[in-house]
Amino acid sequence: MKRIRPLALIALLFIAALCACSPQASGGSGADITVGVVVTQNFGQELMLDETIEVAAGTSAMEALQQVADVETAYGAGFVDAINGVRSKHPSKEDWFFYVNGLAANRGAADYRLRDGDLEHWDFHDWSFHIAVPAIIGDFPEPFLHGYRGQVHPTVIVYANGLGEDAEALGSRLAQLGVEGVSVEGVDELTKEEKKSCNLIILGTMDCELIEELDRVYQRLGFFVHFDDGEMKVLNAKGKVEAEYGTGCGVIQATQSPWNPDGVGACENVVWVVSGTNEAGVRTAASALVNQHAEFGYAYAVAIVNGEIIKVP
């Protein structure tokens, strides 16, 4: 009898536990819709394919993937074992991971029905440090534009003192990209309800209270960058410190909201961290998000050091 790999079992349990938290899907009209399918390796470092295709409404993410790639499945066709020949080899801790509009899906690809504009993203990577990375930045402006399962939560850009102009510039950029209803607020203006239910983009230094709160649980949130002893530490895929940076460096990384009552993995709202070791670092990161987001396409997170955008991990 074929032994189920540990990650496959974890993934199946994860999907079963979280399906009850997801918004209900709306019915399809039968008309064609346009969707994107991206396949990468090593946390978005290596692009295998990026296709925009038309499919019938109600098409599953698995069916769309099969239209553009050679796919091998396992465990009742619900688990992707290989894409275009790239597969895990036991005992290697590498597998395929599935995102929709930048959120780690809480259901299998065969069960996710695509909506018009959805972007499904598959990445093959090492999961020895993070079994799950709840959200990624490389599909920007998702999830702020199309959300998950057709449910788009309001977006609030939250800024610490001195970063108001940077926040306003980011709000304008999101509006240009088609994101509706973006609001901009100071940290002290953020309400408990917004914190629980909205998409948040937080601009603040490592000393900002909200950033500190997230940084304390960085491993649970799937972060590969965290702050310690006044420095920004960048981790590799196995969780080891790859680099340490000081004054003036910045970071952009994302997770699903830990303040959502349904928890990380609900696939409802996200928290993006735009931070740095000091105000200059935050501004550098915010500017990169506004003006250079094409340079970190497909990435899980980025560090910005001396003007260079470095994909992480």
pLDDT for 74 equals 85
Q: Take residue 218 and report the two structure tokens written for it.
A: 């960085």
- Using CA atoms of 194, 143, 264, 59 in order, give the dihedral in degrees to the nearest 10: 130
The alpha carbon of 176 is separated from its chain's Cα centroid by a whole number of angstroms, namely: 21
Partners of 301 in the β-ladder: 312
pLDDT for 1 equals 36
Fold agreement (6-126, 155-312): no
Torsion sign over Cα 242, 245, 249, 252:
positive
pLDDT for 305 equals 97
**Residue ranges covered by each domain of the chain:** 6-126, 155-312
For residue range 65-74, list pLDDT tens digits in order: 999 999 999 8
CATH class of 6-126: mainly beta
Which amino acid makes up residue 254? A
pLDDT for 75 equals 80
**CB-based contacts of 168, cutoff 8 Å, min separation 6:** 184
pLDDT for 295 equals 96
**For the chain, how big is the Rg over CA atoms in Å?**
19
Q: Where are the alpha helices (DSSP H) in the chain?
A: 6-18, 61-68, 164-176, 192-197, 209-215, 279-291
Fold of 155-312: Chitobiase; domain 2 (3.30.379)
With contact defined as beta carbons under 8 Å apart, do 136 and 300 qualify?
A: yes
Partners of 185 in the β-ladder: 158
For residue range 130-155, list pLDDT tens digits in order: 999 999 999 999 999 999 999 999 99
Task: Report yes or no on whether pTM surpasses 0.85.
Answer: yes
Query: pLDDT under 50 in the chain at which residues?
Result: 1-4, 6, 9-29
